[in-house]
Amino acid sequence: MSDIGDALWNTGVGPSDYSEANDRYQQAVLDQYKLCVEMADRVSSRRNLTNTFFLSLNSAVVAVVAAVSDRTVADMSVLLLLAGLVILLAQCAAWYIMVRSYRQLNTAKYEVIGAFEERLPAFAYSRAEWGALGEGRDWRKYLRLTHVEQWVPVVFAASYLLGFCALAAR
């Protein structure tokens, strides 16, 4: 049996656990498990929508600034530029915090899914899939998307700070 096969099957649960007497209980566990997996997937979808929203918003800001001539931006007061910078940095901070929150929420959801798998015949997510990915320890095998996602608002914030410094120095 492969490493995945060894990690997949729960030897503590067998056919005898699926007798007619246990049927309703096992069905309830399976239904709740399905709901937890679905909710984890929905959190990931919401996280993707959040990233799309903030990425689009930040891209629009960059496009507007690029479209405005250098003279117009240079003629703006430092105070007005600073106000814009504060708004943009607050937006980047909110984006960063939301991505972090989604990561924490999904981490908890997958822990619950793993606990459900203790009552099921297979450890599909908690041991087999996660084990096949090296449990996220080696970035060459699996790079956690939420770790990459958290750098995007930081890069935007750093770019805004550099842009502000360049404009203020004029």
List, for residues 18-41, the tens digit of each pLDDT value: 888 788 888 898 999 999 999 999
- Cα 110 to Cα 39, 61, 102, 126, distances in angstroms: 10, 36, 12, 7
Query: Tokens at residue 36, please?
Result: 């937890």
Report the pLDDT averaged over residues 125-131: 87
Beta bridge partners of 9: 122
pLDDT digits (tens, 9 = 90+) for 40-75: 999 999 999 999 999 999 988 888 877 775 666 666
80 vs 141, more confident:
141
Report the pLDDT averaged over residues 135-159: 89
Beta bridge partners of 122: 9
Write down the pLDDT at residue 54: 94
pLDDT at 148 over 80: yes
Q: Count other C-beta atoms under 10 Å from residue 58's C-beta.
A: 21
Write down the pLDDT at residue 111: 92
Write down the pLDDT at residue 73: 65
pLDDT at 8 over 90: no
Supply the mean pLDDT for the chain. Answer: 87
**DSSP of 63-98:** HHHHHS-HHHHHHS-HHHHHHHHHHHHHHHHHHHHH
Q: How many residues does the chain have?
A: 170
Q: Of 21, 36, 26, 17, which Cα lies nearest the Cα of 124?
A: 36
Give the three-state DSSP class for 122.
Answer: strand
Query: Tokens at residue 19, please?
Result: 């007798």
101 vs 84, more confident:
101
138 vs 71, more confident:
138
Cα-only R_g, the chain: 24
Write down the pLDDT at residue 20: 83
Q: Please report which confidence band the pLDDT of residue 1 belongs to, taking 50, 70 and 90 as the band edges.
A: very low
CB burial class (10 A; 0-12, 13-18, 19+) of residue 159? Answer: middle
Region of 13 please: left (phi>0), alpha (psi -120 to 50) or beta. beta
Write down the pLDDT at residue 57: 92
